[in-house]
Amino acid sequence: MNFTAKMIADFLKGELVGNPDTVVTEVSKIEEGKAGTLSFLANPKYEKYLYTTASSIVLINRDLSVNGTVKPTLIKVDDAYKAFASLLELYASNLPQKSGTEQPSYIHSSAVVGSGCYIGAFAYVGEQAVIGHKVKIYPHTYVGDGVKIGDNTILYPGVKIYQGCAVGANCIIHAGSVIGSDGFGFAQGEDMGFKKIPQLGIVIVEDDVEIGSNVSIDRATMGATLIGKGTKIDNLVQIAHNVEIGHNTVIISQAGVAGSTKIGKNCVIAAQAGLVGHIKIGDNVIIGAQSGVSNNIEENRVCLGSPAIDAGIQKKALVVFKKLPDIYRKIGEFERYIKDHAENERKK
């Protein structure tokens, strides 16, 4: 689609500096800008590219002081990053939308499918499933018996939602993710073998949740594994059985949460962090990348390391850790000094 600078400025309620008839058809990074594209500048460290970019239109913050010649048309807004994001949302909403039911696909006669849905080829919708309005189910997706999907939710190719699970409205689940696979529950017998414990619960994903590709969220042994409203989960994350995650929590790639752990709202769990089972993480907690969490964490804390401890203490410990070789050398020198001194005293 073609957008003029005036159309964009009017939509964003921004201040236009330059040619209002400048047209863009694509977006680009400011450092990789080319004619006909829209870029944004939100981080001051990229300001130098404002004076060299070939982008046709650049969004900038109102408080940015321009200190050179600028070729692109500028649109000044309160927050360039948020403005750019809203433009991307507008652009995406104007892209062609999938609709209808492709064949071959299978929808059980007892399933209920709302209006305006898209069901892709080779998709499967099971017995007693309930699909809301304007849901998009892409090819090779499995929606099991009794599954409930809320309005406007998108299930990308290869998503698998096991029987009885529920996904709320306005959710996005990316390709290859599995919702409701069995929790890892086994009882060890006297013969040292393992007997499977039936996993009879479900997974509940509340509204406005986005789940990345190849994520696995296990069903509860009993009751429900819960993903709270507004939570965002990156690719390649493992959520075990009976975990509960509060509203608006963010979990980054390759993190893992063991069974029955409860995570509060507004938390951030960074990449490759691991949380043991049966612990409680309070609200507004930040857990750093590659942290190993083995105990409860109170609310409003920032933790790092393995085992994870308060970030301030961990940073000080890392400073000491870097100095350990030098400290070890000095201790060795001191021991030799004491030994030599004792030897000299003995010879007197």
- The residues carrying an active-site annotation are 241
Helix (H) or strand (E) holding 327: helix 311-347
Q: Count Cβ atoms below 10 Å from residue 153 Cβ, excluding itself.
A: 24
What 3-state class would DSSP assign to 207?
coil
What 3-state class would DSSP assign to 143?
strand
Judge contact between 304 and 285, C-beta under 8 A. no
Q: Which two tokens stand for residue 303?
A: 């933790």
Q: Which two tokens stand for residue 38?
A: 């829209």
Residues 202, 222, 245, 254: is their CA dihedral positive or negative?
negative
Alpha carbon distance 144, 146 (integer Å)? 6
* Nearest Cα to Cα of residue 172 among 102, 232, 256, 248: 232
Which amino acid, residue 300? N
DSSP notation for 222-284: SSEEEE-TT-EE-SS-EE-TT-EE-TT-EE-TT-EE-TT-EE-SS-EE-TT-EE-SS-EE-TT
Alpha carbon distance 264, 258 (integer Å)? 15
Q: How many helices (H) and strands (E) does the chain have?
A: 3, 40
Strand 186-188 versus strand 194-196 pairing type = antiparallel
Judge contact between 182 and 205, C-beta under 8 A. no
What letters, b where the CB count within 10 A reaches 16 and e where it falls short, cover 76-108?
A: bbeebeebbeebeeeeeeeeeeeeeeeeebebe
